[in-house]
Amino acid sequence: MSETLKDHYKRHVIPALQEKHGYTNIHQIPKVVKVVVNTCVGSQADGKQALEDAKADLTTITGQKPAETISKKSIANFKLRQYQAIGARVTLRGERMYEFLERLIRMALPRIRDFRGVSTKSFDGGGNYTLGVSDQSIFPEIELDKIKRNIGFDVTIVTSTRSDAEAKSLLMELGVPFTDKAKPVKAAVVNV
């Protein structure tokens, strides 16, 4: 049986980060606090059905029921009304967070056609990293025959550090494949 991502963090990542950055206190070592998976369907013609499809796919991918996100104000050009349900969001912590990250890093990202890594420019300046995925079919839980529409989503990895350099070294130790020359992730599934 292979090592889980949480075990890998405890056995290998913590000592590697301690050695690399010279942390003297165990509580200084950065860790992943939560992962937020967010999708927006906007104001499509069949908005209610698109939102239900997005929520069903997010539930399948994350193993947790998503919360609806609503618009804060009306925008006439986008045919958007105030308090209209426009998306869904899931916040993962603990065991589910590590399981999701493991599936994302080890299974989903390698399934992308012509994948050369994710961009290092998606850090927010506060130690958090956001990855955009344009298609949900890269996850093995999604059955390709049952996809009604392509749903893109954002995966935000929130860390306990305030430094992008420390967050990057944490994510690299966890196995996130970074490259400086990465283009936006195009999620075309490789036929397996």
Choose among 73, 141, 79, 85: nearest CA to 111: 141
Looking at the structure, give the CATH architecture of the domain made up of residues 5-179.
Answer: 2-Layer Sandwich (3.30)
User: Rounded to an integer, what distance in angstroms lies between the CA atom of residue 20 and that of residue 169?
Assistant: 9
> What are the residue boundaries of the structural domains of the chain, listed by start?
5-179
Question: β-pairing, 32-40 with 85-92?
Answer: antiparallel
In 3D space, the residue among 143, 151, 169, 174 whose CA is nearest the CA of residue 35 turns out to be 174
Contact of 84 with 75, CB cutoff 8 Å: no
Report the C-alpha gap between 5 and 9 in whole angstroms: 6
Q: Which structure tokens are listed for 172?
A: 């690299």
pLDDT in tens, the chain (192 residues): 468 888 888 899 889 988 888 888 888 899 999 999 998 886 666 778 888 888 888 888 888 999 988 778 887 777 777 877 788 999 999 999 999 998 888 888 887 877 888 888 888 888 899 988 887 778 878 777 677 777 888 999 999 988 888 988 998 888 888 886 544 444 445 444
Answer yes or no: pTM beyond 0.85.
Answer: no
Structure-token match 């104000």, residue found:
73
**Residue carrying the six token digits 């399934």:** 111
User: How far, in Å, CA of 110 to CA of 2, rounded?
Assistant: 18
- Residue 163: which residues within 8 A CB-CB, separation 6 or more? 127
